[in-house]
């Protein structure tokens, strides 16, 4: 089944079966019910034993490979077999479980389960379950221990200076990576479950004294309103809770770096971590936040300020360079110096395509090579993209299909697109580049001005959890705008005392 078909199944009556299965009084009946509900799954393990001096039948259930075998043996099974077999069992459900939890089971996470459904949910999350004959409740014991990827440097972002650890696919590990950096009692963590089939855990993190209450409430309500079958990656959540869903601009910040997310939490933003995904969400998100990186604060402030300006220049080059090339040469050639114009015209002699078609062909070719480089194995992906660009470009020029100036414009635009730190923003700008190219081919520079006006109007109408997308430039706030354009030194920027 395709992943993108999950949302279409959210209204299925088969998946919306909310009937609660109660416990029965007999242990055998409860074990049979659980096995039937799991389809007699082969990875369900059951260890039956006698409990107390009265030899009351009991059983431990767990899912293989989802449980920490050492913790299960040492903290649950061994104490139950050794100490549990000698204790006097109180003949009430609460009494039995209270004695077991207080005096026998060593695990720190123990809870009562009132129904078979809650037992199944905890069982499939990696917990073990204790059932006792004659009792209409169960005990879930937290000893989850499935395999996770080790903490490594994120592949999506590389740094010259700064921490090199990255988020992994484990929710608990990702929360710990943030807590290592923010050891404050006011860092609040809320865990909820999303997905009627996957039952994916989501953690909501924020600093209570810095995150605005209305933002926290809005994000919490959006998460609670989610109705979907399964959540396999954080993008599922991003698309559902983001503002302006029809806009190509990202309104949710995404990062694999714990220091980047921790910095956002310190600024008063809300963090959303999805179990099973190394990409963590941060809200609210602004346009200029997407143009910054955590590494800006690890470099000397003059260098960091220069890099920020360079990113803004690269953004405009990525968006406008091909459009300016086509628009000026097609409608305003008098703006080009005569020597340069004669060189461009001489290079274009014999080219069979109009300027627009030529630029579109090269842009689409480069985008195809970029995508091929991403999808190919890492060892040969970069080689294919580089060799492909050189071979295709050189062959096209030699054959007279493409002119050398067009190759230069497309290559310069591609290099500028790599300067944009956010992959999502870079993709949006690359897509807009084609629209600006079409505007320029129809109206020249007037088309570029019209396109920029429409783009500006669109950006000013977008908000991210109530925050204007172009803040602090629109609406303008002088102090925040200064911090956006310049990376001020730490001896000027004072941290908050509270």
| SS3 assignment for the chain | CCHHHCHHHCCCCCCCCCCCCCCCCCHHHHHHHHHHHCCCCCCEEEEEEEECCCCEEEEEEEECCCECHHHHHHHHHHHHHHCCCCCCCCCCHHHHHHHHHHHCCCCCCEEEECCHHHHHHHHHCCCEEEEECCCCCEEEECCECCCCCCCCCCCCCCCCCCCCCCCCCCHHHHHHHHHCCCCCCCEEEEEEEECCCCCEEEEEEEECCCCCHHHHHHHHHHHHCCCCCCCCCHHHHHHHHCCCCCCCCCCCEEECCHHHHHHHHHCCCEEEEECCCCCEEEECCCHHHHCCCHHHHCCCHHHHHHHHHHHHHHHHHHHHHHHHHHHHHHHCHHHCCHHHHHHHHHHCCCCCCCHHHHHHHHHHHHHHHHHHHHHCCHHHHHHHHHHHHHHHHHHHHHCCCCCHHHHHHHHHHHHHHCCCCCHHHHHHHHHHHHHHHHHHHHHCHHHHHHHHHHHHHHHHHCEECCEECCCCCCCCCHHHHHHHHCCCCCCCCCCCCC
Instruction: Say how far apart CA 123 and CA 52 lie, in whole Å.
Output: 25
Q: Given this model, what pLDDT does residue 331 score?
A: 93
Task: Report the predicted TM-score, pTM, of the whole model to 2 decimal places.
Answer: 0.84
Instruction: Say how far apart CA 72 and CA 74 lie, in whole Å.
Output: 6
Instruction: Say how far apart CA 317 and CA 276 lie, in whole Å.
Output: 37
Torsion of CA 433, 438, 441, 442, to 10 degrees: -140
Q: Given this model, what pLDDT does residue 90 score?
A: 59
Instruction: Say how far apart CA 404 and CA 154 lie, in whole Å.
Output: 37
First to last CA, the chain: 51
The two structure tokens encoding residue 414 = 């591609």
Residue pair 256/282 in contact (Cβ under 8 Å)? The answer is no
Instruction: Say how far apart CA 162 and CA 25 lie, in whole Å.
Output: 58
Phi, psi of 253 (to 5 degrees): -80, 140
pLDDT per residue of the chain (498 residues) written in tens, 0 to 9 = 344 433 443 433 333 344 578 888 888 889 999 999 888 888 898 998 888 777 888 899 999 888 878 888 888 888 888 877 677 665 555 567 777 777 788 877 888 888 888 888 888 888 889 988 888 888 888 888 777 788 888 877 878 888 889 999 989 899 999 999 999 999 999 999 999 888 899 999 999 999 999 999 999 999 999 999 999 999 999 999 999 888 999 999 999 999 999 999 999 999 999 999 999 999 999 999 999 988 888 888 889 899 999 999 999 999 999 999 999 999 999 999 999 999 998 988 888 888 999 999 888 888 887 887 777 766 566 666 666 666 777 778 888 888 889 989 988 998 899 899 998 999 999 999 999 999 999 999 999 999 999 999 999 999 999 999 999 998 888 888 888 888 878 777 765 545
Q: Is the peptide bond between 284 and the residue preceding it cis, with omega within 30 degrees of 0?
A: yes
Q: List the strands of the sheet with 200-207, edge to edge.
A: 187-194, 200-207, 270-274, 280-283, 253-255
Nearest to 153 by CA among 278, 330, 24: 278
Q: By CB neighbour count within 10 A (0-12 exposed, 13-18 middle, 19+ buried), where does 289 fall? A: buried
Determine how many CB atoms are found less than 10 A away from the CB of residue 224.
10
Nearest to 129 by CA among 74, 69, 62: 62
Instruction: Say how far apart CA 76 and CA 353 lie, in whole Å.
Output: 75
Instruction: Say how far apart CA 101 and CA 94 lie, in whole Å.
Output: 10
Q: What is the CA angle 370-376-380, rounded to 5?
A: 95
């Amino acid at each position: 089944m395709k992943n993108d078909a999950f949302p279409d199944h959210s209204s299925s009556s088969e998946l919306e079966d909310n009937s609660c299965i109660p416990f029965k009084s007999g242990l055998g009946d409860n074990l049979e019910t659980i096995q039937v509900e799991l389809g007699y799954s082969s990875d369900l393990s059951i260890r039956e034993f006698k409990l107390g001096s009265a030899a009351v039948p009991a059983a431990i259930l767990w899912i293989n490979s989802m449980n920490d075998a050492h913790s299960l043996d040492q903290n649950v099974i061994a104490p139950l077999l050794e100490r549990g077999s000698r204790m006097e069992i109180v003949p009430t459900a609460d009494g039995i479980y209270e004695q077991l939890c207080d005096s026998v089971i060593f695990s720190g996470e123990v809870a009562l389960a009132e129904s078979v459904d809650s037992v199944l949910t905890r069982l499939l999350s990696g917990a073990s379950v204790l059932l006792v004959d004659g009792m209409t409740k169960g005990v879930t014991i937290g000893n989850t221990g499935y395999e996770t990827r080790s903490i490594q440097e994120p592949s999506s972002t590389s740094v010259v200076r700064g921490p090199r650890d990255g988020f992994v696919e484990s929710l608990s590990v990702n929360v710990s990576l943030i807590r290592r950096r923010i050891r404050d009692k006011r860092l609040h963590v809320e865990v909820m479950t999303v997905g009627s089939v996957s039952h994916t855990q989501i953690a909501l993190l924020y600093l209570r004294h810095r995150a605005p209450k209305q933002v926290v409430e809005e994000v919490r309500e959006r998460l609670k309103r989610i109705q979907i079958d399964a959540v396999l990656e954080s993008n599922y959540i991003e698309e559902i809770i983001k503002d302006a869903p029809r806009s190509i601009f990202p309104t949710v910040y995404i990062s694999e770096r714990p220091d980047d997310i921790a910095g956002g939490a310190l600024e008063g933003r809300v963090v959303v971590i999805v179990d099973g995904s190394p990409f963590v969400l941060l809200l609210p998100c602004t346009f200029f936040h997407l143009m910054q990186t955590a590494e800006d604060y690890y470099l000397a402030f003059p260098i960091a300020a220069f890099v920020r300006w360079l990113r803004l220049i690269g953004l405009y080059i990525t968006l406008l360079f091909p459009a300016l090339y086509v628009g000026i040469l097609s409608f305003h050639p008098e703006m080009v110096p005569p020597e340069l114009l004669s060189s461009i015209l001489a290079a274009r002699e014999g080219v069979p395509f109009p300027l627009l078609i030529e630029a579109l062909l090269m842009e689409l070719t480069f985008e195809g090579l970029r995508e091929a480089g991403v999808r190919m194995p890492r060892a040969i992906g970069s080689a294919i993209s580089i060799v492909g660009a050189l071979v295709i470009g050189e062959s096209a020029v030699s054959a007279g299909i493409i002119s050398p100036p067009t190759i230069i414009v497309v290559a310069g635009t591609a290099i500028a697109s790599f300067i944009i730190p956010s992959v999502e923003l870079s993709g949006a700008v690359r897509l807009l580049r084609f629209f600006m190219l079409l505007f320029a081919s129809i109206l020249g520079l007037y088309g570029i001005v019209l396109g920029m006006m429409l783009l500006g109007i669109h950006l000013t109408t977008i908000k991210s959890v109530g925050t204007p997308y172009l803040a602090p430039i629109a609406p303008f706030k002088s102090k925040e705008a200064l911090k956006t354009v310049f990376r001020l030194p730490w001896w000027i920027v004072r941290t908050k005392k509270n």
